[in-house]
Amino acid sequence: MTIHKVQPKLIIHGGAGSSLKGKGGADAVRKSLYKVVEDVYGLLVAGASAKDAVIRGCHLLEDDPRFNAGTGSVLQSDGQIRMSASLMDGAAQRFSGVINVSRVQHPIELAEFLQGSADRVLSDFGAAELLRELQVPLYNPLTEIRLQEWMQERQENFVREAAGVVAENELVEDSNAGYGTIGVVALDSEGCLAAGTSTGGKGFERIGRVSDSAMPAGNYATAKAAISCTGIGEDIIDECLAPRIVVRVTDGLSLVEAFKRSFTEAGASKRDFGAIGLDANGAIGWGKTSEVLLAAYHTGNQMGDTLDLSDGIESGGL
């Protein structure tokens, strides 16, 4: 019996928002994203599973303080960091995640462990207990720029709805440049899909607010397609965005057409978000209603990104 291998594909994102202002701008973000794409795609070519590739990609993005996940996460209104993450294995169609976890370097690791658990989504207290059970070292993900950002906003009585998404080496004038979250979607050589999403939240939000990143609404995968979302979580939840795109692919639309239809609807509803995805045939897709989408991908032949897309509602793919 001949086993037919497929060409692995990969797409990642580091958030969406209204601006790439700040030190470095698009070039610095592109450099960070491409470094992750190169590393993770190398694993896929070497035979890694989609799930393992997604976990690796999330690790790297969580470690980059430029993005709002893991190290560099934003602070909630009480000055505490509470992170959320989820992982979905498309081959098993199994979702797992943690909500508002603190003092951990890689929230995606907890989601990974929960893939094999009977209880697959844990909130803050449960996630903290899991950390103790696994003997994961405590870690402080706070960075100076996030602390200064929170202190500045506290002086202004938290008038902004969200913190900035792209951390730079100094505070930028437009620190409300976007909305956090990192995500990775992979197709491996066996034709299996997986998606992972991790975030520090909106920043300055009410204590206990739950992100879409720990819900199927923002991170969903089956054997047909896999999607990771970024942007305003409440908008993503209202649209049930990730499953909506996956279901349309399952029902016969191409991935690109599923993105186009979903983002046309989202624009009419004045949503503010972006998404990336793959299907089982290797099609790569993305969409945004925000001004910028910080995404990069590997087609198997070359890397590309979405940083230079025009403002406004847009969807596309390869």
Among candidates 288, 262, 260, 291, which has minimal Cα distance to 276?
288
Whether residue 124 contacts residue 104, with contact meaning beta carbons closer than 8 Å, is answered with: no
CA separation for the pair 304, 19 (Å, rounded): 19
Find out whether 145 and 171 touch, Cβ atoms under 8 Å. Answer: yes
Structure token pair of residue 2 = 């001949």
d(CA 158, CA 148): 13
Cβ neighbour number for residue 4 with a 10 Å cutoff:
7
CA–CA gap between residue 111 and residue 202 (Å, rounded): 20
The catalytic site residues sit at 181
Contact 211, 198 (CB under 8 A): no
Rounded Cα gap, residues 119 and 207, in angstroms: 24
Q: In the beta sheet, which residues pair with residue 83?
A: 101
Distance in angstroms (rounded) separating the CA atoms of residues 305 and 294:
8
Q: How many CA atoms lie within 13 A of 23 on its CB side?
A: 8
276 neighbors 183 (Cβ within 8 angstroms)? yes
| CA distance from start to end of the chain | 31
To which residue do tokens 């973000």 refer? 29
Which pairing describes strands 121-122 and 94-101: parallel, antiparallel, or unpaired? parallel
